[in-house]
Amino acid sequence: MKMNKYVERIYNGIIKENPTFIIMLGMCPTLAVTTSGNNGLYMGLTTTVVLAMSNLLISALRKFIPDKVRIPAYIVVVASLVTVVQLLLAAYLPVVNELLGIYIPLIVVNCIILGRAEAYAAKNSIGLSLFDGIGMGLGFTLALSIIGSFRELLGAGTIFSFKITPDSFEPISIFILAPGALFTLAILTALQNKLKLPSATNGSAGNNVGCGGDCSHCMGSTCTTNREEISSKAETSKVTIAKKSEAGDTQNQK
C-alpha cells in the first residue's frame, strides 16, 4: 500500500528518521531537560510548534531568500518564532516557562530546526514542509518523553509524576541529576551498537539527513559543507530514476 505523502512525512519523523534516536540531533536540550517525563513532553511540544512554524515560513520564503544569506535569514525567522512562543508560554502556561527556563530561548540554536530548514524546507512545498516539521517535532517529543520517563522511573520512582515503584524501591537519584543523563544516552547508543540498529553514531543512519546527523561529530558546520554533496546526490538519483523509466518505456515500445 502506498502511503499518502503527508502521512509519510509524519511516519518519517517519528520512526524512520527520528531526530533523537536515529539522527542524534539536538543533544543539548535532550540531556538537559529530560529529568522527568513531563519536562521532556513540554520541551518536545514547544520545539514541535517552533519547528512546524519555521518549516512553514522558510518554505514559503524559499524563493525570496538569496542563497548567500540563507543561514542568517533562517536564524532570524527561527529567533522571532521562539520569541513569540516564549511570550505565549509566559502568558498562558507560566509553569512550563519556569520549568524549562533558559532552554526555551535556546531552541534557536537547536540543530534540529536549522537542520530541517536546510535539508527539507528550503527545497520542498509549504504543505510537505509543515508536515515534515510536525513529524520531526512529534518524533523529538516522543523520544524526550521516553528518555524522561526512564530517568524519572529510576531516579524518583515515578512516571509523569505517578508513583510506580513499591516503597521498598530506593530511587537511584543520580539518574535525575546531570551524570544520569549522560549514562542514559551512553546505554542507549551502546544498545543501538549491540543490536545494530540504525543510528548516526554507528554510521548506519543513511546520509540523506541534510546535516549528516550525529551531533558528536558535526562540530556545528557540517550541514553547510554537506549541502552541495547532498543536493548533487539527490540530482543523480533523479537522473538515474529518469533513465530507468526511459529504458522501461523503450522496452515497452519494443
For 5-164, list the strands marked E by DSSP: 158-159, 162-163
Q: Judge whether 112 and 140 are in contact, CB under 8 Å.
A: yes
Burial class (CB in 10 A: 0-12, 13-18, 19+), 91: exposed
How far from each other are the two terminal CA atoms of the chain, in whole angstroms? 30
- Rounded least distance, CB 190 to another protein, Å: 4
- Rounded least distance, CB 1 to another protein, Å: 36
Q: Give the residue with the Cβ less far from another protein, 122 or 223.
A: 223
Q: Judge whether 46 and 89 are in contact, CB under 8 Å.
A: yes
Alpha carbon of residue 69 to chain centroid: 24
Q: Give the residue with the Cβ less far from another protein, 37 or 115.
A: 115
The residue ranges that bind another protein (CB under 8 A) are 27-29, 31-32, 72, 75-76, 79-80, 82-83, 86-87, 101-102, 105-106, 108-111, 114, 174, 177-183, 185-187, 189-191, 193-194, 201-202, 215-221
- Rounded least distance, CB 215 to another protein, Å: 5
Distance CA(240)–CA(225), nearest Å, equals 24
Q: Give the residue with the Cβ less far from another protein, 124 or 202.
A: 202
**224 contacts: CB under 8 Å, gap ≥ 6:** 71, 118
Q: Give the residue with the Cβ less far from another protein, 41 or 211.
A: 211
- Rounded least distance, CB 169 to another protein, Å: 22
If you count DSSP H runs as helices and E runs as strands, how many of each does the chain have, helices first? 9, 2
- Rounded least distance, CB 65 to another protein, Å: 16
Q: Give the residue with the Cβ less far from another protein, 95 or 219.
A: 219
Q: Give the residue with the Cβ less far from another protein, 101 or 248.
A: 101
Q: Which long-range contacts (CB under 8 A, 24 or more apart) does 228-236 make?
A: 230/119, 231/123, 233/208, 234/208
- Rounded least distance, CB 163 to another protein, Å: 27
